[in-house]
Amino acid sequence: MNVLYAGIGNEISISVPGIAPQDVSATMTNGSLVRKGNLWEAKPVAAGRDATVSISARTGSQVRQLASKNFRVRSLPDPSPYIEYADANGNPAVFKGGNLAKAVLVNTQGIKAAIDDGILNIPFRVTGFRTLFFDSMGNAIPEVSEGSRFSERQKEQIRRLQRGKYFYISGVKAIGPDGLEREIAVIEVRVN
């Protein structure tokens, strides 16, 4: 069964052999369906309820329903948080956890989030996150950002980090194109 994601526009192709595209029409349950050039955009409303796309065609003065197709409607999966930085050649690169050079880390602005799994490529807007640093005694030093950028206090903690030390980025809140806010995965950063 085919899948559509709730709250976002999903491109689908609708065509009928032997019928001109302008003579093809379609409707959808559990959402809206709009023609966008040669494709259609299906925007389901509710996850967990199937959507049915019904296709009709005009032949002469008659309009006939030709087919219908059921789609399973799911919520968007959670995005992955990452730090975007410039590599040695100045090209954008993505860090999702592990070792990162301090010089690179000091020059980053904050974090981003996206679904980028080879099928979907959907950016999310980060609305806040926490960092957790550790001092020389092992005491936790939490800091909060009210957006996608590192706060001044977080930047200061990053500048103080020594090689081999690590910190965590957690409590990442991100809003997708479906309008839902999610708290997503933790990033562990080890300075090398």
Does 84 share its domain with 69?
A: no
Same domain, 61 and 119: no
For residues 93 and 116, membership in a common domain is answered with yes
Final residue of a structural domain among 74, 93, 123:
74
Partnered with residue 4 across adjacent β-strands are 73
pLDDT for position 99 = 96
Same-domain status, 178 and 117: yes
Give the model's pLDDT for residue 1. 62
State the 10-residue block means of pLDDT for the chain, 192 residues long: 92 94 96 95 97 95 94 96 93 94 94 90 96 94 97 96 95 96 96 93
- Residue 101 sits in the same domain as residue 20: no
Examine the domain organization and report whether 61 and 90 are in the same domain: no
Domain boundary among 43, 74, 105: 74
One domain for residues 99 and 68: no
Range of the domain at 23: 2-74
Residues 170, 89: one domain? yes
Q: Domain count for the chain, please give it.
A: 2
Q: From 22, 48, 74, give the residue that closes a domain.
A: 74
Q: Where are the beta strands (DSSP E) in 22-111?
A: 24-28, 31-36, 39-44, 51-59, 62-74, 80-86, 92-95, 98-100
CATH of the domain at 45: 2.60.40.1080
Do 181 and 98 belong together in one domain? yes
Instruction: Say what the pLDDT of residue 94 is.
Output: 93
Do 161 and 185 sit in the same domain of this protein?
yes
Whether residues 55 and 91 share a domain: the answer is no
Ramachandran area for residue 34 (φ above 0: left; ψ -120 to 50: alpha; else beta): beta
Q: Quick one: 58 and 112 in the same domain?
A: no
For position 78, what pLDDT does the model report?
A: 95
pTM comes to 0.84
- Given a contact cutoff of 8 angstroms between Cβ atoms, the answer to whether 40 and 13 are in contact is yes
